Amino acid sequence: MSYPYQIHSIEDYHAAYQKSVETPESFWADIASHFTWHQQWDEVLNWNFYDPKIEWFKGGKLNITENCLDRWVEKQPHTPAIIWESNDPHTPSRTLTYQELFEEVCRFAHVLTQNGAKRGDRICIYMPMVPELAIAVLACARIGAIHSVVFGGFSAQSIADRIQDAQCNLVVTADGAYRGNKTIPLKSVIDEALLTCPSVQKVIVLTRTNTPVSMMKDRDCWWEDEMKKISAQGNLPFKAAIMDAEDMLFILYTSGSTGKPKGVVHTCAGYMVWANYTFVNVFQYKPGQVHFCTADIGWITGHSYIVYGPLSAGATTLMFEGIPTWPDAGRFWEIADKHQVDILYTAPTAIRSLMSFGTEPLQGKKLDSLKTLGTVGEPINEEAWHWYDENIGRKNCPIVDTWWQTETGGVMISNLAGITPSKPSFATLPLPGIQPILVDEKGSLVEGNEVSGNLCIRFPWPGMLRTTFGDHERCRTTYFSTYENLYFTGDGCLRDKDGDYRITGRVDDVLNVSGHRIGTAEVENAINRHTGVVESAVVGYPHDIKGQGMYAYVIFNGIHVNEEQTRKDICETVANIIGAIAKPDKIQFVSGLPKTRSGKIMRRILRKIAEGAVDNLGDTTTLLDPLVVEEIKSNKL
């Protein structure tokens, strides 16, 4: 069996691309016809980028889990759906076949409904990378509830913000999570978050670490107990809720240039088609292969390429609970050999970090099952690309550099493994359906042989975001108002003479630290809440491993025990408010910040100083107090 819409040659790619631009509706209708529907759509596409209004397959009725589970249970019940590898290499791995996964999802769907969850409810999931996380996600989709997965590294405050914004009424969590040699207490973080979340009625807690937890009567219950109750009732299949194509499937919060993360909304049918189409084509998945995406399901990469993309394609997806460097830096490679992984999809930051251990962790690793390598989340530098190619791919595996975003639902610009050529540090060509253009600051098209500009997309694709939860206007102003009639990505980009795209990084105030997207305003707000801090400005600077590091300039009028201690305290405040992933790498205390006469911080100057380009600051004459720049320069860390 193969996929009727899989692209097999470069000619196929060009033909598909052309068709997707000339007759997008029939192009996508053909592809969508290969999925399971309860009722056909009335209209393939209805859109305008003004409101914005984006509707794909409107009127179509389906449930994404019937496409991820039921149809494969019929065809291949014993094929592994999820292979799970524990944090601890000595814990046996687990395999759930399509039949088993289906049963577990149905069972948990019953648990959810018996605990009061209904179609349309928002359910927050804060769990470790265990199969139950995927089961919880799919069970939400099965009953027609909207999941909002929050990455396990976020703080109680961040969770509370997300729960309140979405008005979740149920939380699924675990007692704790293993991460390398650490145990992270998830349930107690949830308890703290829920102090300010009156909308939450129920908390279902999975046992993972046996960390002692408080369990509140009438609110908290154990996953295992609830599952047993369903078994005692006879383990009946759960009839999937029949959803409209445009019903919400999930919310995923992501950072932007303002202080408050926004809830990106994806809907059922378009997202499903896009996650599946991109999975099958970018990675050139062949039935029977093992796909290992190292992301966490708390991020979009995990949603699309651990859960929905692979499972909707009947693929075998490998879920890893741990981290690449524990118990040693050979962990990924050991997993690749142990499970005969065919496709490995990871982040440049992981590659750079593993590179720094040299080739010793590769000793004795065969890596001969690997066929395709992928990267995602940030630009990959040429050195890391070649290391990946030579040491992991043994110069035998195509590398796909996949550019996309939480908002785009799936890969937008990438080579197709073994089909279209790769070019180190270039994402290369748009997928069928994607019409990228580059514009200048004023929104005029930039054209020519080798040009740079702001990357926009001029036509809808099935997996694009539909709104930001609870605030459609925010969606419009963030993505659709900068340039008329275009979706603005926030990324800068270069297009070379071959038409290949190279993403050069964000052009807004969003940082990409270790592949995690963090808004500078969010971090500044957190720093400013630290006692004694008057004002702060956060900028990015190049970091060998993380890609970007975070440099904070802080005006502090409190009393220092010593500067180093205050730095640590500020980091702790940021970790408390956002999560440890948002801790600044460097904190420089300053007496003032460079501002224009209208009071705007000149970030360009701060960025240059952080990058070390102190002699090339450009025009500083418009500054209110040019002297402050001299002070900042001379005290640079």
Chain residues binding ligand PRX by CB under 6 A are 254, 300-301, 376-379, 401-406, 427, 489-491, 503, 506, 512, 517
Which CB, 285 or 403, lies closer to ligand PRX? 403
For the bound state, the minimum distance from the C-beta of residue 377 to ligand PRX, rounded and expressed in Å, comes to 4
What's the CA gap between 619 and 604, in Å, rounded?
10
Which CB, 176 or 348, lies closer to ligand PRX? 348
What's the CA gap between 95 and 319, in Å, rounded?
10
Which CB, 73 or 427, lies closer to ligand PRX? 427
Type of residue numbered 498: D
Which CB, 376 or 587, lies closer to ligand PRX? 376
For the bound state, the minimum distance from the C-beta of residue 299 to ligand PRX, rounded and expressed in Å, comes to 6
Which CB, 443 or 505, lies closer to ligand PRX? 505
Name beta bridge partners: 126: 173
What's the CA gap between 487 and 225, in Å, rounded?
47
The order of strands in the sheet holding 316-320 is 94-97, 80-85, 316-320, 290-293, 343-346, 372-376, 399-402
Q: Are 504 and 491 in contact (CB under 8 A)?
A: yes
For the bound state, the minimum distance from the C-beta of residue 137 to ligand PRX, rounded and expressed in Å, comes to 17
Which CB, 247 or 508, lies closer to ligand PRX? 508
The two beta strands, 182-184 and 170-174, are unpaired
For the bound state, the minimum distance from the C-beta of residue 414 to ligand PRX, rounded and expressed in Å, comes to 7
For the bound state, the minimum distance from the C-beta of residue 283 to ligand PRX, rounded and expressed in Å, comes to 14
| C-alpha to C-alpha distances, 548 to 128, 152, 579, 596, nearest whole angstrom | 26, 22, 17, 26
Q: Are 351 and 370 in contact (CB under 8 A)?
A: no
Buried/exposed 396-413: b ≥16 CB within 10 Å, e otherwise: ebbbbbbbbbbbbbbbbb
For the bound state, the minimum distance from the C-beta of residue 491 to ligand PRX, rounded and expressed in Å, comes to 5
Burial class (CB in 10 A: 0-12, 13-18, 19+), 304: buried
Type of residue numbered 330: G
Q: Are 241 and 265 in contact (CB under 8 A)?
A: no
For the bound state, the minimum distance from the C-beta of residue 413 to ligand PRX, rounded and expressed in Å, comes to 8
Map tokens 């599946």 to a residue: 276
For the bound state, the minimum distance from the C-beta of residue 470 to ligand PRX, rounded and expressed in Å, comes to 19
For the bound state, the minimum distance from the C-beta of residue 404 to ligand PRX, rounded and expressed in Å, comes to 4
DSSP calls for 466-524 = -EETT-HHHHIIIIISSSTTSEEEEEEEEE-TTS-EEEEEESSSEEEETTEEEEHHHHH
Type of residue numbered 396: N
For the bound state, the minimum distance from the C-beta of residue 538 to ligand PRX, rounded and expressed in Å, comes to 17
Which CB, 284 or 406, lies closer to ligand PRX? 406
Which CB, 423 or 506, lies closer to ligand PRX? 506
What's the CA gap between 387 and 351, in Å, rounded?
8
Closest residue by beta carbon to ligand PRX:
406
End-to-end Cα distance, the chain:
58
Smallest CA-to-CA distance from 280 within 432, 386, 151 is with 432
| C-alpha to C-alpha distances, 500 to 395, 421, 439, 525, 572, nearest whole angstrom | 22, 10, 16, 38, 43
Which CB, 106 or 456, lies closer to ligand PRX? 456
Helix, strand, or coil here: 207? coil
For the bound state, the minimum distance from the C-beta of residue 403 to ligand PRX, rounded and expressed in Å, comes to 4
Which CB, 97 or 406, lies closer to ligand PRX? 406
Contacts of 472 (CB under 8 A, 6+ apart): 51
Which CB, 291 or 506, lies closer to ligand PRX? 506
Q: Which two tokens stand for residue 259?
A: 């202080």
